[in-house]
Every structure is written in structure tokens, then in C-alpha cells.
Amino acid sequence: MTDQQPGFSTLAIHAGAQPDATTGARTTPIYQTTSYVFESADHAASLFGLQAFGNIYTRIMNPTQGVLEERLAALEGGTAALAVASGHAAQLLVFHTIMEPGDNFVAAKKLYGGSVNQFGHSFKSFGWEVRWGDVERPETMADLIDERTKAIFIESFANPAGAVSDIAAIAEVAQKAGIPLIVDNTMATPYLCRPLEHGADIVLHSLTKFLGGHGNSMGGVIVDGGTFDWSASDRYPMLKEPRPEYGGVKLHETFGNFAFAIACRVLGLRDLGPAISPFNAFQILTGIETLPLRMQRHCENALAVAKHLKGHDKVEWVNYSGLDDSPNHALQQKYAPDGAGAVFTFGLKGGYEAGVKFVEGLELFSHLANIGDTRSLVIHPASTTHRQLSDEQRGAAGAGNEVVRLSVGIEAVGDLLADLDQALAKA
């Protein structure tokens, strides 16, 4: 190999992987095992004491998972990563690592409905408070921060509204407050946007979506940017203070710029247990190899569909940042110049009832609660993913009664336009 820095497409195929040392297998094997033989009693003790790296138990780590983690860290430009069972599991472990009862965090109002529910309801059981901020006015988020605030959480591309976050501006607010910025980069993927390059400290993904890309495996990941100083204040004792379960080891002092990923693994995943299966890790690794090719086609098709819908007489509006007249177009060009992604929303003139009829009338688009598949997908958020929210909350999340969300796949674009037209005629 030369000293040349590998390109994104090369990393998507090769990062973290080597031919299997025993068999010579070129594709990363599925290590379908629960546990691993120790070399000696001393070796076992060093592993359990965090004095050496190695495999102990597949709930905590697995060789197939390890390749996936190295690849994702390379693609996002992070120092380390932790793959887990789902995107929700990744969020849980991140906040478990930094939060204590009575703490709060600031989150963008415009988020995936499942995250709104997790933050606003389930997290209450841990004594954690979410404070909803306006991502379109980053300066106002500073007003929500106090001495018990532990982080700011945003999405790079908001789901389902499609708004593009001004990551650098929000990172500045977080830095001034001495707290990390956490960015869910699921909708953009590192092919389109790398939040760590714009001031984020931690990046999350639902691997179930574009990174896996085929709608066949669940997974999530935490990528440690290695940029945040966890010892600069007393806000983060799990990283700064001695850990009694590991003989007094101070995680940040010991592991430096990948301490957060270590903490999520040995304090969160170890005890809460949302492990990714080796098979799912293998499936997602395979999907990532074609990520650059798929994202190019996703973006091309999505732009063509958005332009088509914009000219349709039954469509009130189209919210896709790739359109030249979108209020988010300038931010999209700044943070994701290679494309605006595959997911966007539009509004039907007939409102709620028209939305329901439209999704029921589609034949090629699949009506389901997912995004990021090779297949084109559709959902009416007000009657499904955001149904548990009030009308006011749905509107704030960009999921009003007239809103339809599309996840545009990689099929022949002419077939997609024909299917949309016939369903709009029925609606």
C-alpha cells in the first residue's frame, strides 16, 4: 500500500477487515460464538481489569462486530465505535454514560418520532429530563442550558421533516457551555455528511437504515469523535472518576480520545445488554460495501421525485433540501454538497384522509415504518409513527396531518413516478 489516504469507497469495503488468519477467508466471517477461551488465568484477569484488549463474551464484543466498528469509525472520522442492537439502544447507552438522575439534555424539536417518545417518556424513568430546542435558531438553545445539562442532541437531516441542521452553529453553543454535541447522522450517512468535521463530538446511527441498506438487519452504532475533554469539569463522573468495578481505573485518564466508546461498552453495554448479533453485524458490513453507489442513486432518484411532485396539482408543498428554492438548500450545500439524501416529506391538499388514501393506493412503494431500504418506502406519519403525539407536537416535528414521508429507493425512476401519479389520482 502507498501512503495515500484511502478514499471513502475504499474504506467502505476494506476498513477494519483482513483475510481470516486461520482459513484465509476474504469476507469477514460470522463469529457465531458466545464466549472465547482465555490463554491463562493472568490473561483472563487482564481482560476483565481493562489492562488488555480482547474478547470475553459476545454480549460485550465479538470479532465480526469489531470489524464493523472499525469500519464505521473510519467512515465517520472518529477514534472508535461501539455497535449495538439498534439505534434506540445506541441512544440509551450514550445517555446512560453521561447522565445521572436529575440531569437534563437539550434536543431538537424536529426529531424522529421514536426518539421524541424515548426522550420525552421512557427517559423519565431514569430521572432524565429533555428540553426541546429550536434547531433553526441555535442561539436560543443556549437559554435551555444550566449546570445539570449534559449534552445537546440533534439530527443532521431531521426525520421526517428533512430540515438540515446548522451543525457548526450548534456545536459552538455546546462548546461554550462545556457539553458535547451528539448528532444522529442516520439520514445523511457519512457519505453525504460527517458531523465530526463540523464540531460534533459523538455521532449515532441506526444501522438498520441506509448503512445496512437492505431492510434485513437491526443495528445501531456510537462513534466517538475523540474531541471532548471529559475531565475538564465534574459533569461526567463515569468518565472522570475512578470506577470501583475496575479497580479504580479512570476511564478518560486511561483511554484518552477513545474513552467514551470504552465507557459505553464496559459500563453500559456490559450491564444493560443491548448487543448486536454477529449475523446482523455481518449483514450490515456487507451492506456498507455498496453505500457510496446506493447513496448516489438514492439522491438522484429523490431529486427527480421531488421535482415531479412539486409540479403536481394535488400536492400543496414539497420539503426537500435538494430543491433550489428550499429554505434548507444553502445548509444542504454546506454540509452535504454531494446530495440531499433520499428521505423527504410533502403535503397533500386533501389533508389526513388524502394521506391515508394515497399510501393505500401505492403499488411499487411499500407502506411501512422504515427508511433507507433499496426499495422505495412510504408512510403517513400522523396515522403511524407520530400517532401518539398531539396535533401540536406533530406539527412541531414536521409530521402534520397532510404530511407524507417518502424514502426513495434505487429502482428505475420512471417506475416510481408512474406509481406516485396513479396513487395521487386515487387520493
Q: How confident is residue 281, by pLDDT bands cut at 50, 70 and 90?
A: very high
- Rounded to whole angstroms, the Cα distance separating 202 from 281 reads 21
Average pLDDT, the chain: 95
Q: Would the pLDDT of 2 be above 70? A: no
Q: Would you call 235 exposed, middle or buried from its count of C-beta atoms within 10 A (0-12, 13-18, 19+)?
A: buried
Q: Give 67-102 pLDDT, tens digit per residue.
A: 999 999 999 999 999 999 999 999 999 999 999 999
Instruction: Provide, rounded to the nearest whole percent, the portion of the chain with pLDDT above 70.
Output: 98
The three three-digit cell numbers of residue 366, written as one number:
411499500
Contact indicator for 183, 205 with CB cutoff of 8 Å: no
Q: Would the pLDDT of 1 be above 60? A: no
Query: What's at 410, amino acid-wise?
Result: I
Q: Would the pLDDT of 322 be above 70? A: yes
Q: Give 17-38 pLDDT, tens digit per residue.
A: 999 988 999 999 999 999 999 9
What's the pLDDT score for residue 352? 86
What's the pLDDT score for residue 397? 67
Q: Give 362-414 pLDDT, tens digit per residue.
A: 999 999 989 999 999 999 988 887 677 777 777 766 778 899 999 999 999 99
Q: What is the mean pLDDT of residues 254-271?
A: 97
Q: How confident is residue 107, by pLDDT bands cut at 50, 70 and 90?
A: very high
- Rounded to whole angstroms, the Cα distance separating 201 from 214 reads 28
List the single range of 37-46, 224-233, 347-356 with lowest mean pLDDT. 347-356
Q: What structural domains does the chain harbor?
A: 8-287 (3.40.640.10), 291-426 (3.90.1150.10)
Q: Give 156-175 pLDDT, tens digit per residue.
A: 999 877 789 999 999 999 99
- Rounded to whole angstroms, the Cα distance separating 168 from 94 reads 21
Q: What is the mean pLDDT of residues 204-221?
A: 97
What's the pLDDT score for residue 159? 85
Q: Is the pTM of this model over 0.85?
A: yes
Pick the residue with more confidence: 1 or 325?
A: 325
Q: What is the mean pLDDT of residues 267-277?
A: 97
What's the pLDDT score for residue 391? 77
What's the pLDDT score for residue 3? 77
- Rounded to whole angstroms, the Cα distance separating 46 from 178 reads 34
- Rounded to whole angstroms, the Cα distance separating 375 from 210 reads 11
What's the pLDDT score for residue 389? 72
